[in-house]
């Protein structure tokens, strides 16, 4: 009977460690809603400098003036009057894992933090609700001049001038309504600066966990990789499932200087009551490289379109992504690139999977300016629908303003081959395992680009989602 239930009731599938809810022991929770008084209270709570206080209030004004975009998935179920924009956990930030409170520590231990740190990471930041609760950088990394700290310390500390120079200059509050929201209520996040010529051979990682019910998370990540330097930054996110809406509206700003290289890897595994309205953008100077590796698995509604501006000559961008939309999910994802410099290149390679009525939409945008002579761009999108109830769409957009450019787009939408399933079953596999193996193989181009522990996580998530999909 138990086996029958597992194969029949897809919505009852346990998301393992991610959906475990911890009892809330908040030290402070801001009242729900969005008013100037709430923003001022938040700013005071954070001890913002005057310029940041003003920035928040100006962003709120812009938010109130702007309309919700009239394209993309519906966010009618999101009501800011019911969202608490700031929840402070019951601990200050710690530099020693042993000093983190046991209840919070248990959460991150379940999720693999700091096991990953001990094995392969140069530094880790762990955020719980609205604040970082743990942050540590290896001494050898710090000795090279690498700065990796929490965003709020950076705003007020010795790097405040650098932060003010770059903060929300790449993603401005006027970009869209939820960028303005972020500017008003941001909290937490990471600041990274890699000095000229420094090559980090092991990654830095931030992990964001939203435990609070009916809350929002608005972390800000600002990374500057100076001339000739290189960095791999890994970001993980998760939240337990509640029966009310939660919101994630973070912001990521990446500055890749002359001849520098940055790989930015993300696995977003939010719960299926989450509205994920994140904004990510990179500015790449001459000879620089930005590589995006993105996995989107969770959230009720997702809108995520990392953007790269290839400003410098001979700069390049690669985007590798996978999206898995299951029951009750509408994941609208994609990537955008703007070619400005000469002889720039971009490549997008994505896989999207939908099942049990899930909706997956991939949007690609390629813009080639008049100045971008010699630009090359290629977009490849493949979609796999696992049943007749699901939906998958690809929406390419190209704006080419020079004749001296080579731009291509390829899209494929299909279903699992019954012949392939039959072949694997004839070799002793169950139908469920056969289909899971085919889906994992379909997403292999992304998983092989991820660090080992995240590749394992992604494949486990796919297998978890596949359970119960037969019969």
Distance (Å, whole) CA 454 – CA 458: 6
Give the rounded percent of residues in the chain with a pLDDT score beyond 70. 79
Q: What is the pLDDT of residue 453?
A: 60
Distance (Å, whole) CA 321 – CA 333: 9
> What is the residue-averaged pLDDT of the chain?
84
Confidence of residue 365 (pLDDT cuts 50, 70, 90): very high
Question: Tens digits of per-residue pLDDT, 120-133?
Answer: 566 666 667 666 66
Of the ranges 128-142, 279-293, 411-425, which is most confident? 279-293
Average pLDDT over residues 315-334: 93
The structure tokens listed for 365 are 């945008």
Confidence of residue 12 (pLDDT cuts 50, 70, 90): very low
Could you say which DSSP state residue 84 is in? B
Distance (Å, whole) CA 325 – CA 443: 13
Could you say which DSSP state residue 207 is in? E
Per-residue CA distances from 315 to 257, 291, 335, 350, 375 (Å):
10, 11, 17, 21, 10
Q: What is the pLDDT of residue 11?
A: 37
Question: Tens digits of per-residue pLDDT, 200-220?
Answer: 988 888 877 777 788 888 999
pLDDT at 330 over 60: yes
Tell which wins on pLDDT, 105 or 264. 264
pLDDT at 276 over 90: yes
Strands 301-304 and 261-269: unpaired
Distance (Å, whole) CA 99 – CA 280: 32
Cα dihedral 29, 38, 300, 222 in deg (nearest 10): -90
Q: What's the residue count for the chain?
A: 471
pLDDT at 178 over 90: yes
Q: What is the pLDDT of residue 233?
A: 92
**Positive or negative, the Cα torsion across 463, 328, 336, 350?**
positive
Average pLDDT over residues 145-158: 91
- Collapsed DSSP state (helix, strand, coil) of residue 339: strand
CA angle 395, 178, 64 (to 5 degrees): 125
Tell which wins on pLDDT, 144 or 98. 144
Q: Is the peptide bond before 12 cis (omega within 30 degrees of 0)?
A: no
CB neighbour class for 5 (10 Å; exposed up to 12, middle 13-18, buried from 19): exposed
Residue with tokens 């410098």: 312
Instruction: Spell out the domain ranges in the chain.
Output: 2-466
Closest CA to 358 of 329, 323, 322: 329
Q: What is the pLDDT of residue 14?
A: 40
- Collapsed DSSP state (helix, strand, coil) of residue 20: coil
39: Cβ contacts below 8 Å, ≥ 6 apart = 56, 57, 60, 184, 185
């Amino acid at each position: 009977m138990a086996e029958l239930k597992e194969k029949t009731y897809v919505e009852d599938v346990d998301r393992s460690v991610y959906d475990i809810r911890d009892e809330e022991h908040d030290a402070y929770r801001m009242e729900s809603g969005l008013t100037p008084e709430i923003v001022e209270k938040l700013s005071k709570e954070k001890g913002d400098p005057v310029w940041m206080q003003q920035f928040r209030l100006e962003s709120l004004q812009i938010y109130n003036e702007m309309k919700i975009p009239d394209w993309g998935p519906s966010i009618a179920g999101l009501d800011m009057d019911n969202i608490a924009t700031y929840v402070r956990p019951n601990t200050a930030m710690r530099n020693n894992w042993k000093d983190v409170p046991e209840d919070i520590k248990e959460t991150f231990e379940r999720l693999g933090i700091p096991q990953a740190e001990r094995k392969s990471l140069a530094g880790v930041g762990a955020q719980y609700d609205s604040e970082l609760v743990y942050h540590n950088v290896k001494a050898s990394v710090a000795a090279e001049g690498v700065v990796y700290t929490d965003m709020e310390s950076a705003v007020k500390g010795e790097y405040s001038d650098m932060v003010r120079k770059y903060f929300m200059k790449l993603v401005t509050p006027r970009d869209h309504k939820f960028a303005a929201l972020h500017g008003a209520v941001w909290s937490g996040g990471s600041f990274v600066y890699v000095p000229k010529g420094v090559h980090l051979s092991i990654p830095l990682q931030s992990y964001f966990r939203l435990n609070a019910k009916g809350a929002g998370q608005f972390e800000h990540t600002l990374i500057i990789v100076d001339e000739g330097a290189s960095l791999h930054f890994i970001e993980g996110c998760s939240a337990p499932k509640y029966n009310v809406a939660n919101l994630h509206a973070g912001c990521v700003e990446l500055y890749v200087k002359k001849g520098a290289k940055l790989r930015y890897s993300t696995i977003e595994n939010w719960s299926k009551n989450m509205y994920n309205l994140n904004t990510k953008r990179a500015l790449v100077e001459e000879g620089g490289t930005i590589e995006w590796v993105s996995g989107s698995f969770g959230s009720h509604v997702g809108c995520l379109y990392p953007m790269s501006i290839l400003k410098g000559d001979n700069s390049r961008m690669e985007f590798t992504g996978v999206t898995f939309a299951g029951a009750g999910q509408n994941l609208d994802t994609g990537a955008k690139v703007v070619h400005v410099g000469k002889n720039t290149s971009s490549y997008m390679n994505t896989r999207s999977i939908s099942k049990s009525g899930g909706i997956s939409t991939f949007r690609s945008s390629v813009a080639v300016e008049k100045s971008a002579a010699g630009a090359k761009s290629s977009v490849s999108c493949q979609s796999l629908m696992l049943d007749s109830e699901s939906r998958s769409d690809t929406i390419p957009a190209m704006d080419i303003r020079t004749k001296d450019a080579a731009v291509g787009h390829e899209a494929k939408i299909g279903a699992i081959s019954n012949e392939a399933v039959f072949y694997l079953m004839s070799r002793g596999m169950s139908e469920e395992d056969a289909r899971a193996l085919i889906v994992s193989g379909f997403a292999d181009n992304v998983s092989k680009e991820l660090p080992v522990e995240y590749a394992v996580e992604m494949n486990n998530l796919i297998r978890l989602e596949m359970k119960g999909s037969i019969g």
